[in-house]
Structure 1
Amino acid sequence: MPRYVLPLFFGILGTVVLVSLGTWQLQRLVWKEGVLDEIAARIEAAPVAVPANPDPQRDRYLSVSASGAFTGEELHILASTRHVGAVYRVISPFETTDGRRIMVDRGWIKPPQKDAERPAGPATITGNLHWPDEIDGFTPESDAEKNIWFARDVPTLADVLGTEPVLIILRETSETDPPVTPLPIDGAAIPNDHLEYVVTWYGLAIVWVLMTVYYLRRLRKTRKA
């Protein structure tokens, strides 16, 4: 009997740990789904005026509307989309009717359209405030001379364009023939991997139990032999 104690102990301990991790991820899944529901409701809410001093935490994803005019200046952010591949996001200054100068992510263009002229002019826009977190240790250095950027770092782009550190991700525009295809915020794009972790940890727990049972049976057969 003593020879079974240690493998049985580790079998039970490993199972408890793996099931606990799976249960924790299940709780995280419920929490994350609640957060995503809140974000989706915020994205799709009726638009309001752009706050005078928006806060990156409090006002993230806030649905807003503004009237004014695009100035014609642009910064190009190299990105990719699922259906098109490599694209440039177009970030333009937008001068509002009340005298503010903010930024608008107008959407995407294909690389051959990078140097094409796009008309400026008046527009009423609707979109969502956002402060994307796109910089990590692998982000390349931007090439300001060629106007190729690799992240929508709001403070940096605002310094370059001389605007407030406010970025609206365009959802709708009154322009009759928009020169840029909008790429609005979509809550579905926010990662939620917790279900995969739940399946992984619970699956490992089942495997651990089966391996423990198999090992104990081998010990029993060895003893009989």
Structure 2
Amino acid sequence: MSDQPTVRRPGWVTALLLALSVMMIVVFLLLGNWQIRRLAWKQDLIAAVDARAFQDPVGLPDSFDAEEHAYLRVSVEAEYQQASVVLVKTVTEIGPGYWVMMPLHTDQGILWVNRGYVPPDFSTSEHWATPAPPVIGLLRPTVEGGTLLESNDPAIDRWVSRDTREMSRARNLGSTLPFFVDADHQGAPGAWPRGGLTVIRFSNSHLYYALTWYAMAALFAGALVYVIRSARHKNPDVP
């Protein structure tokens, strides 16, 4: 039985595969470089937030920029409007319950303050410590609409996100600032609401992602060299 002739791949197919492989290597390298730039940005962000959150409190900014003022520690001298409280569903390290949101009337408009967390059994004001100025805490941008799983429904007073302007409309309040204050804890250590629960933590896996993309580029490059050397070994006429 005679051997059948070997069918050789057209040269243009080989060239196309090589070009695609080279393109993939370049793409992986670019993605790795992008993650390195993201790593530098995230490290600068973490350092900036740490500096803001743990500095001495300052007054409210004249205009709010989320990138510049998020987690800024502030102090506000104003009286709470306890009649307009809003309870926002939450889950904290303590357990499920509510954030107690209360508005303040300031010269710049209505400022909502998150006094802290209360469990469901302590969701009425008779269980809460009496608030007293000044309000000291961290600035947070308003969270509009709701969460991925639920939406705010002012008509039935159901709140799942701290949407300051929508809360003011529901309580017939005036012009409202586009941020709120996560207040420090007031009163005895075990008093409700439990303030000071702001989580200041940012995921930072950019170095891991960068190394993954660089490893993919290295694997593609190694495979490409292997294929070229194998082809030249089988056919010495290949340049």
TM-score using structure 1 length: 0.76
In our comparison, the structure showing a higher alpha carbon Rg is: 2
Q: Distance in 1 between matches of 2:215 and 2:87?
A: 45
The yes-or-no answer on 1:206 pairing with 2:218 is yes
What's the offset of the Cα at 1:222? 6.7
Question: How many angstroms does 1:22 deviate by?
Answer: 0.2
Unpaired runs of 5+ residues, structure 2, are 1-10
Tell which has more relative contact order, 1 or 2 (C-alpha 8 A, sep 6+): 1
Moved more, 60-69 or 151-160: 60-69
Partner of 1:171: 184
- Alignment counterpart, residue 100 of structure 2, candidates 51, 74, 90: 90
Identity %: 24
RMSD: 3.5
Distance in 2 (CA, whole Å) between partners of 1:114 and 1:223 is 80
Cα 1:132–1:29 change in 2 (3 A) is farther
Matches of 1:85 and 1:95, distance apart in 2 = 31
2:159 pairs, out of 149, 154, 172, with 149
- Aligned residue for 1:70, secondary structure, equals coil
Q: Greater strand share, 1 or 2?
A: 1
Counterpart of 2:54?
A: 44
Secondary structure, in 3 states, of the residue corresponding to 2:161? coil
Q: Matches of residues 1-225 of structure 1 in structure 2 within 5 Å? A: 5-51=15-61, 53-57=62-66, 59-72=69-82, 73-81=84-92, 83-94=93-104, 102-115=111-124, 117=126, 118-133=128-143, 135=145, 138=148, 140-144=150-154, 146-161=156-171, 162=173, 164-165=176-177, 166-173=179-186, 175-176=187-188, 178-188=191-201, 190-216=202-228, 219=231
Amino acid at match of 1:78: K
| Cα drift, residue 47 of structure 1 | 0.6
Tell me the number of residue pairs that the alignment of Structure 1 and Structure 2 aligns.
Answer: 219
Q: What is the alpha-carbon distance in structure 2 between the residues aligned to residue 137 and residue 127 of structure 1?
A: 23
